[in-house]
Structure 1
Amino acid sequence: MRTRIRIFGWMTIFTLLLILAAGIGSFGSSTAVEAQADSYKFDFGSGGVEAGYIGVTATDRYDATKHYGFNTPENMRNVPASGTGVGSDAVQFVTYGTKSDNTFNVDLPDGLYEVRVTLGNTARASVAAEGVYQIMNMTGNQATDSFQLPVTDGQLNLLVTEGKAGTSFTLSALEIRLLSSQPVTNRTIYIGGDSTVCNYYPLNSSVQAGWGQMLPQFVDQSAFVVRNLATGGQIARGFRNDGQLEAILKYIKPGDYFILQLGINDTNSKNNTTEAEFKELMRDMVRQVKATGATVVLSTPQGRATDFNEAGVHSSVNRWYRHATMALAAEEHVPLVDLNVLSSAYFTSIGPEATLGLYMTGDSLHPNRAGATQLARLMAEELKRQGLDGL
């Protein structure tokens, strides 16, 4: 009798272990497939899948039971990439555009998320989600950047799209992390501008930089996030009409700032924009953003490194439609940062040789990383002096 009980006991324990193991396996599978998660890590392409990531190939169609997939996988392609780990392969968006339905969809509970993207091999590409731009002109293979996104309809819809016509728009990895159950962005400083303002990649080590890229180090990041939507070559008409202002207007709210600096490229004859036209384009953007309750700040661009006179004084007050920007700020009663004059005073203080050292080699217009840092410092100091908080 004792022997039978012992045998039954071991058989029972063994059976329970098998059931438990099967249950754990099915539970793990069920969690990945059936439960709607608030964080994900995706590894795209047909190669190996990194530990901790969910593998997704170009053929994976959105499935409501697993809560993710491509809306139109027939418009996706698996491609190689030159990086390592998640960067060793990618998917390519064959059709694209901010309004395209060729998106990667992820079901998410409504809330505020941090979304981090890693591109594959691409010369220049932008990231769109919810039908608007989120990151502008990421350059170089395996470029990485992140943004905050409020989800209000239960699903993230993301794609990689135009940054430079004719190049491949690829995605190697996507990480999504819930920040808050409230689908409202943190207080945000939005920035519009051109190549002297925009981001360059890798963000933490690029030789060239725009002051918008360097501004976060002068901002209280517990109070604000910085969203830099500036792009190289941009003009006022393009910023207003081609999607960047649209992205800002979708999210900007009272308590946010919008810093706008344009004029350098508008003065180029090929862009066919008179100073009067420039002023009215800028006015339209100022009024649209002011109507949201956010604070608009206008900025004038810095001059060229070579704008020194014989006395060693740097001055570029007549460049880049500066007078129109100053007049507009007064007429619309918005703060003005005359970065043109502030930077000239700084350049004069350090002299012509040191000023050249703040610009790209052989380039008198575009600042290097050190120069962009100084411009960002001047911007932040002036905003703080004018009473804007968070700096």
Structure 2
Amino acid sequence: MVAILRVLRRLRARTIGKVLAATLLGASTGACLADPAAYGHRPYHFDFGNGSVEPGHLGVRAEDAYTPDKHYGFNTPENMANVAASGTGVGGDAVRFLQFGTKSTNTFNVDLKPGLYEVSVTLGNTTRASVAAEGVFQVMNMTGNNAKDAFEIPVTDGQLNLLVTEGKAGAAFTLSALDIRMVSPKPELGPTIWVGGDSTVANYYPLATSVQGGWGQMLPDYVSPDAFKVRNIATGGQIARGFRDGGQLETIVKYGKSGDLFLLEMGINDTNPKNATTEVEFKEIMRDMVRQVAATGATPVLVTPQGRATDFNAEGVHSSVNRWYRHATLALAEEEHVPFVDLNVLASAYFTQIGPEATLALYMSGDTLHPNRAGAAELARLVAADLERQQLLPAR
């Protein structure tokens, strides 16, 4: 009996040792998962670069290739580089993507069970970079060192393929950390409001504290999360043709479905002579996008841009109805029988109510076109209220 107890103690000690070793291995650079059979169910926390690995994270160097037994790694590590980063913790180092593009095979691959996942991204040092996965954009134009954002994505083929890619020509496309957790075993996005537009709509970073804001960035504050998630695909300087042909519309077409909304606001940059887009051309490009999105089952909603802070007449009335190809957008909504949010007129009514001085305070200093965070919040409020009026959003 004594001999049997000694054997059992030895077996327990060996088992504990193996579990401890596996746990330590799972937190070390280039390690495989402690329990490969559980891949895709446990949360993943990746720390990229060749510096020290933060506790609770899997370290990934640029040279770490994907292998089936490890369940993660770079598809073409020869196109990656370890680089420094100016942050702390996981933000203290990063990897740089030397080849990029939404269709590039130079991806970081993670084996995942089919399901819906939340992916949280922390960049390294970069001026502007976007995140792509599954061959389409997921997050647009993250700016500033160690910028953070998150998105949900359905995985149906057993693997997530992600990379950091173009936000601005010549920028460094870097990745410091990645966190992945399963939201649902069903690989389907819930009801989503997709937002397309320009710099008056886009996200600015850090998302929670940026001085400048876009109304698409602030819209989630006016939408019940139980009703819709908001995905803002807008980018600064964008024109209708660029949004359609540059890959942003592709994201909505890939994931859009019945019950979704697609809010599309263009015109400010299209009217700039350097972009060589006539009002007739603008209208037909917008029509094409409306029809492509409608074919997915989602509901396109056309939105007009607000005017400049200085669009007041001598009587103190704000009006900008002749700006930004507004008339073409209004006509298109009527022709295609799609909902229309005339933010141009709604914003003017609000600006007239509060007056020129208070209106100017809602824009960036020395800038009469781009709203600051407070101004973007007011515009988002107006958009949401009109969507509620049209019963496209449930009342909060």
User: Structure 2 length normalisation: TM-score?
Assistant: 0.95
Tell whether 2:330 aligns with 1:326.
Answer: yes
Computing the radius of gyration from Cα coordinates, the structure with the larger value is 1
Residue 179 (structure 1) aligns with: 183
Give me the whole-angstrom Cα distance separating, in 1, the residues matched to 2:353 and 2:288.
Answer: 37
Tell whether 2:279 aligns with 1:275.
Answer: yes
Deviations 1:353-372 (A, max 9, x none): 00000000000000000000
Look up the SS of the partner of 1:99 in the other structure: coil
Deviation at 1:293, TM superposition (A): 1.2
Residue 345 (structure 1) aligns with: 349
Tell whether 2:256 aligns with 1:252.
Answer: yes
Deviation at 1:18, TM superposition (A): 2.6
Cα-Cα RMSD: 1.4
Residue 24 (structure 1) aligns with: 19
Counterparts of 1:278-317 in structure 2 under 5 Å?
278-317=282-321
Residue 336 (structure 1) aligns with: 340
Deviations 1:317-365 (A, max 9, x none): 0000000000000000001100000000000000000000000000000
| One of 22, 37, 40 as aligned partner of 1:37 | 40
Give me the whole-angstrom Cα distance separating, in 2, the residues matched to 1:31 and 1:388.
Answer: 45
Give me the whole-angstrom Cα distance separating, in 2, the residues matched to 1:13 and 1:99.
Answer: 55
Instruction: Give the letter for the 2:254 counterpart.
Output: K
Q: Could you say if the C-alpha distance between residues 33 and 73 of structure 1 is closer, same or farther in structure 2, counting changes exceeding 3 Å?
A: farther
Deviation at 1:13, TM superposition (A): 5.2
| One of 371, 386, 390 as aligned partner of 2:390 | 386
Q: Which moved more, 1:380-389 or 1:20-29?
A: 20-29
Instruction: Give the letter for the 1:37 counterpart.
Output: G
Give me the whole-angstrom Cα distance separating, in 2, the residues matched to 1:32 and 1:151.
Answer: 22
Report percent identity of matched pairs: 68
Instruction: Give the letter for the 1:164 counterpart.
Output: K
Give me the whole-angstrom Cα distance separating, in 1, the residues matched to 2:374 and 2:172.
Answer: 31
Instruction: Give the letter for the 2:190 counterpart.
Output: N
Tell whether 2:169 aligns with 1:165.
Answer: yes
| One of 68, 72, 94 as aligned partner of 1:68 | 72
Look up the SS of the partner of 2:369 in the other structure: coil
Tell whether 2:59 aligns with 1:77.
Answer: no
Structure 1 stretches of 4+ with a deviation exceeding 6 A read: none
Deviations 1:59-91 (A, max 9, x none): 000010010000000000000100011000000
Tell whether 2:147 aligns with 1:143.
Answer: yes
Q: Which runs of 5+ in 1 are unaligned?
A: none
Give me the whole-angstrom Cα distance separating, in 2, the residues matched to 1:284 and 1:370.
Answer: 33
Give me the whole-angstrom Cα distance separating, in 1, the residues matched to 2:149 and 2:182.
Answer: 17
C-alpha contact 1:33 1:66 (8 A) present in aligned 2: no
Look up the SS of the partner of 2:34 in the other structure: helix
Residue 200 (structure 1) aligns with: 204
Give me the whole-angstrom Cα distance separating, in 1, the residues matched to 2:121 and 2:19.
Answer: 32
Q: Number of residue pairs matched?
A: 386
Deviation at 1:25, TM superposition (A): 3.8
User: Structure 1 length normalisation: TM-score?
Assistant: 0.96
